[in-house]
Amino acid sequence: MGATITTIQDVLKYVYTSRELQNAVYKDNPLFALLKKQSGFTGKSHIHAITYRNPLARSALFGTAQGRARVNGNTTSTDIGFSEDVQFIVTRVKNYAMYSIEQEALLASKGDKGSFISAVSQQLDGTLQTLNNDMGRDVYGSGLGELGQVTGVNSTTISVGEAIAQIEVGMEIVCSTGSTKTAALRNSGTGQSVTSVDRSAGTFVVSANTDSIASGDWLFIKGDRPAGSTTAIGSMLKMAGLEAWNPYTTPAGSESFFGVDRSIDATRLAGHRLDISSLQPEEGYITALAALAREGGSPSHIFMSFLDEKNLKLALGSRVEAEYTEVGDIGFESMRIRGPKGTVRVYADRNAPAGFSRLLQLDTWELKHLGDLVNKGDAGNDGGLAREYQADSFEGRLSCYGNMVCYKPAANMVVKLPT
């Protein structure tokens, strides 16, 4: 059921200020706002190559160097006079958000002198924010669309800690069969609905725990991932975010990540990972920045949860250097820490998983998309509302077709933080 004369009656008499598309999409998602977006993701896929080894035909002996430089049709251990490259064949994923408006509600919400809220504006703005929140979360994700991990279950009350920021009343959720994101879904992904949320306690209640959600399970929105177990990036339905390109767990041998086995050089092809949980926050970040700089990375931004950002601020005390960053009409508060390659900006992002932080060279990342980042309506109806079949209502559609690309994984790092 979409917006009807009954569901919008509480807002008919209030003034509503419409917002620009960009502001609605980017609100409160720092990484998503700062991430470069690039249209033109046409064709079947986007291919980009990474050189992870330069030619090694070098020796103090002329004959040895010359022998290694020659290529006779067969690659051997001594035939290394060429660069080693890989090609990531990145495919698009789809993301849809829709809304429905009854014609009576549409007509009743029209008025002059700003005396009525526009039903279209209300529904469009809310649906845009839903899509925004989803993509803001996906840029951190693995491609599976994970919301967070269950920390406890008491009948129909589910504890998720800091991940409660991703839970909404009415959301239909499914869960894994254990502590692995890639595990199959319980009960074949039948799902259960969220009936209430206690954000202070980090808990939510489901109507009935029909899927037998258990502590350690991972949560997903129904329809965002296949029901069976999956590790192949090509079978995942969501954007390949930071955890996909720079996973905390080292890629296993013989994997195929957009056609590449990254285990052959996991650092240069899948980024850095470092456990600094035994160190104080400031000491840990200095250690991480030094390790990343050693491998040629020039980190410009750090993203973390609000909880982890608070811990860093407390550790720095009076040495906190604050800064304000603007993206269009949207602004984000940040602080600065100094690394071996200059100042790095630190942002708190509600979408960043607690307990981990991302050290990014942001200019190595891009969100490539087809058409606009958010496409409004159907391609053939000029972005307007479409009449619903056999119903006195209209349907609005928002869509995004694209994926994230990392052009230099070796310039980025994920770190495990103190808890």
pLDDT exceeds 60 at position 239: yes
pTM for the structure as a whole: 0.87
DSSP structural state of residue 184 = P
CATH class for domain 145-229?
mainly beta
Whether residue 160 contacts residue 167, with contact meaning beta carbons closer than 8 Å, is answered with yes
Quick: pLDDT tens for 278-332. 998 889 999 999 999 998 899 999 999 999 999 998 888 877 777 767 666 566 7
Domain 266-365+407-416 belongs to what architecture? 2-Layer Sandwich (3.30)
DSSP secondary structure of 94-159: EEEEEEEEEHHHHHHT--STT-S--HHHHHHHHHHHHHHHHHHHHTTS-SS-EEEE--EEETTEEE
* 96 CB neighbour count, 10 Å cutoff: 12
Quick: pLDDT tens for 191-209. 999 999 999 999 999 999 9
Quick: pLDDT tens for 41-50. 999 999 999 8
| Domain boundaries of the chain, sorted by first residue | 145-229, 266-365+407-416
Whether residue 356 contacts residue 51, with contact meaning beta carbons closer than 8 Å, is answered with no
pLDDT exceeds 90 at position 23: no
Q: What does pLDDT average to over the chain?
A: 85
Q: pLDDT tier at 391 (50, 70, 90 boundaries)?
A: confident
pLDDT exceeds 70 at position 349: yes
Lowest mean pLDDT among 4-18, 120-134, 365-379, 399-413: 4-18
Classify the C-alpha dihedral 336-282-273-56 as positive or negative. positive
pLDDT exceeds 50 at position 16: no
* 381 CB neighbour count, 10 Å cutoff: 11
